[in-house]
Structure 1
């Protein structure tokens, strides 16, 4: 009898728990406090954030949401209090200056050292930080960084020239060098690691005063501070912090997937989710990525320099009260620059390479423009030489559109008084987002062939119509402050590399695979490289 009594109690407890969980999710749906019950979407998404959490963890959120918009139309309910709006005009409403909308608690999952410009949710604090940081990325200041950018492109060219010469002899190389093999007059390799090495070395040089040395070592490795607290406490001392080395690109990728998945879960779920092995490993990546910034800042400050770079300008930045950034804030902003400056440049460079290799006629047309502008001089272009090349700009813009490095809809909380977007009113507290991946494929804006890579569309359509649906750097007060630097880097990188080399795909039938955390990242891009004019 005692056994039966215990069994009954256990069954009852499970039943009560199940009923409680059901009520927690069903009651809000019945009450419908934000008036969004009628919007279509996956059944589970109407009742729980778990659906979006699962989709985010699978690494293809943008594609899944895009298919839902194709099925349901302009509005899709992604979570109990989250509506996705696939209307280009909604960009300038949801993300507009002065509309009062705030970032949602999605961004809490991206905080490690302390809140920075990217993940702060406070409007006054964001305004303060943006005032300090934005002037650093003015066009005038960005031009001061050009020599450093060109130096690392030169290193990449020297490495690819070395592999090309070896490849012509039929030799092959290591995984760190992209698993290269020489045959048929080309060197065949995965170019993605090389774009990662270039982007990390550039941003390491600009943000911390020295590159990570990935291009020279042909390896993904960066020093990580073992103790964040000890390293920041000793900032400015002669001794460098105690570090260990980890693969930075891998850490960055893991961190993005973890934070993007954790961020869509309700805050009260997150402590429990962190106990799951996959999330636990992701949280470790968050700490290691922060440790890269801590170690780099500590190393730079242990040997003061009069060198002009992002960190030196951050150190000089003052708020309205004339106050400088404290050590944790300085490091958090440096970390933001590391993440934003490496990920977007490498992903976009790789996507551009793929689309040019997959579209030979586009590559030839671009190279004709580059040959006329650059001639036979220095293999590394200058910004002045390439800043007004229309087809180069169209190629880059088209790749940013079709690849959509930042493809997910960035969530915003509707402010007091509500918002009307795409003809529908949403009350205060509703979470809205506009999916860049889907807007970049809007056929009314881009034409019936919106799914295709075709730079010529930038000369055929009304510029205002295209710009209204073009959102690679977000919009409004929270848009990317580093777009001037990103533009300079991509123009010089693509012009220099495409002027020197010709690319073909190793397997033309293979799809360009990506995996998405916060950003959509290529998985691999195997190409054959041949030096032009040999």
Structure 2
């Protein structure tokens, strides 16, 4: 027994020495001998994944990385095995198919389907699996489909305006201060509920979030912690074991609510021009498995709603804080339509300043500020002219690109004029040199956002209807700087309060 105790005593110092020296040796290797050792970036981020994880958990990842890009350049090492780019050429090299190049696949650390969980459009990593699911969904997101869906958009735009009118009618002086962010969310979630499941979430009708959506927002920060833990498999294993049964049940209930909505929609006997109608084959057989439908429509509910609402909230926030730009857009909208019935998507597309204001909102308030990494294929490949070994994580910092003076004049200012047609041809325009193609708000390539036509339609319609019906202003002392908002995979929005009243030409009758 004494010999055993002696062995244990002598082994502990050895174990302690290993625990102390291994991280140090690993950090030295990452810093000086790793294939990425010569890639620009801060030494601390190159040595260990910990600075990245800390930044992710604090919600400051996009701001921290932007500062590092300004210091170290457009190609930046942000972890031992990850490089991020603030260069417009990276969009093409990483996301677009290139002849004689293998595709850059999604990083499984972020996207791998959980065990015993069905695959979704977002989690499908293999190109053939993703293409199969996308083919089933794509017809529901075309311009032709949008034309058939337009009456549904107008239905919720009318409800959006009516509910705000109702609330305003009860206020003294018919004027009120309102946090507009939730209302944009009500609008976009209700539309996707109708287009995706044949039934609204009734957020507008009830002037509050549906419980499913409220739970979604409350879990956003938790998702960042889960993502961070995946870099340390042992920690992820421990976290999974520590999840209380009540939380597991809540997660299951959250998923089952969407599954129930899918059930009801698939059992409809009447034909509707919605997204789900294109998933159902002509012979009644679904083009995707039932599990894939449930999982895909669950993620699309967020991807197709919260992101659009983020851009709307950010755009209006910039407009009210730039009254001269707001006045131009308001005059354009009110000059183009005489009655509410005159609004159509076709006519809205012909309003140049409306298009420009939304484009500028997409630039300064990207719904996904940090484009999650892809993996350099086996054997290595080049990005922006630099070779990287296979397995290197490569990501794009949309937030940094969109605010780079190399691409945009006065990059931190809200200037819709940069998107007007004459800006690229007028030799006196300060925006003539802007590289507008650097903005890729809906990504590029085979995995670009299918819902961009729908998103543009929602943004044009609700923003124009809002400014046509109401006079809106900033609230002194309560202004929000979008640059101060944190990012936990999604943007964590603060209340964007506006002062509003009915314009004189519109009555409550």
Report the TM-score when normalising by structure 1: 0.83
Give how far 1:355 is off: 1.1
Q: Which residue of 2 aligns with 1:409?
A: 371
Q: Given that residues 188 and 527 in structure 1 are in contact (C-alpha distance below 8 angstroms), is that contact kept between their aligned partners in structure 2? A: yes
CA distance in 2, matches of 1:345, 1:328: 26
The alignment yields a C-alpha RMSD, in angstroms, of 3.1
Structure 2 CA distance for partners of 1:443 and 1:457, relative to 1, 3 Å: same
Structure 2 CA distance for partners of 1:61 and 1:282, relative to 1, 3 Å: farther
Q: Given that residues 101 and 414 in structure 1 are in contact (C-alpha distance below 8 angstroms), is that contact kept between their aligned partners in structure 2? A: yes
CA distance in 1, matches of 2:204, 2:322: 28
Structure 2 CA distance for partners of 1:371 and 1:109, relative to 1, 3 Å: same
Q: Given that residues 330 and 467 in structure 2 are in contact (C-alpha distance below 8 angstroms), is that contact kept between their aligned partners in structure 1? A: yes
Question: Where do 1:41-120 residues align within 5 Å?
Answer: 41-98=41-98, 99=101, 100-108=103-111, 113-120=117-124
CA distance in 2, matches of 1:443, 1:247: 38
Q: Given that residues 255 and 286 in structure 1 are in contact (C-alpha distance below 8 angstroms), is that contact kept between their aligned partners in structure 2? A: no
CA distance in 2, matches of 1:281, 1:445: 49
CA distance in 1, matches of 2:504, 2:114: 49
- The question of 1:344 aligning with 2:348 is answered no
Q: Which residue of 2 aligns with 1:16?
A: 18
CA distance in 1, matches of 2:32, 2:248: 35
Question: Where do 1:293-304 residues align within 5 Å?
Answer: 293-301=258-266, 304=269
Report the TM-score when normalising by structure 2: 0.87
- The question of 1:313 aligning with 2:278 is answered yes
- The question of 1:146 aligning with 2:117 is answered no
Q: Which residue of 2 aligns with 1:272?
A: 238
CA distance in 1, matches of 2:197, 2:188: 14
Q: Given that residues 345 and 461 in structure 2 are in contact (C-alpha distance below 8 angstroms), is that contact kept between their aligned partners in structure 1? A: yes
Structure 2 CA distance for partners of 1:261 and 1:530, relative to 1, 3 Å: farther
2:469 to 481, 489, 500: 500
Structure 2 CA distance for partners of 1:334 and 1:323, relative to 1, 3 Å: closer
Which segment is superposed worse, 204-213 or 148-157? 148-157
- The question of 1:206 aligning with 2:195 is answered yes
CA distance in 1, matches of 2:114, 2:404: 33
Q: Which residue of 1 aligns with 2:440?
A: 471
Deviation readout 1:300-326 (Å, 9 max, x if unpaired) = 3455442231122222389xxx97311
Structure 2 unmatched runs, 5+: 426-431
Give how far 1:103 is off: 1.0
CA distance in 2, matches of 1:151, 1:119: 32
- The question of 1:419 aligning with 2:381 is answered yes
Deviation readout 1:268-289 (Å, 9 max, x if unpaired) = 6532354677x99998876555
Question: Residue 70 of structure 2: SS of its match in structure 1?
Answer: helix
1:490 to 430, 436, 459: 459
Q: Which residue of 2 aligns with 1:528?
A: 499
Deviation readout 1:368-415 (Å, 9 max, x if unpaired) = 11112112343x832122012111000000001001111103211122
Give how far 1:511 is off: 2.6
Structure 1 unmatched runs, 5+: 170-184, 224-245
Q: Given that residues 84 and 434 in structure 1 are in contact (C-alpha distance below 8 angstroms), is that contact kept between their aligned partners in structure 2? A: yes
Q: Given that residues 91 and 434 in structure 1 are in contact (C-alpha distance below 8 angstroms), is that contact kept between their aligned partners in structure 2? A: yes
Q: Given that residues 39 and 77 in structure 2 are in contact (C-alpha distance below 8 angstroms), is that contact kept between their aligned partners in structure 1? A: yes
- The question of 1:324 aligning with 2:290 is answered no
Question: Residue 36 of structure 2: SS of its match in structure 1?
Answer: coil
Q: Which residue of 2 aligns with 1:241?
A: none
2:362 to 400, 408, 419: 400
Structure 2 CA distance for partners of 1:82 and 1:73, relative to 1, 3 Å: same
Aligned length: 488
Q: Which residue of 2 aligns with 1:217?
A: 206
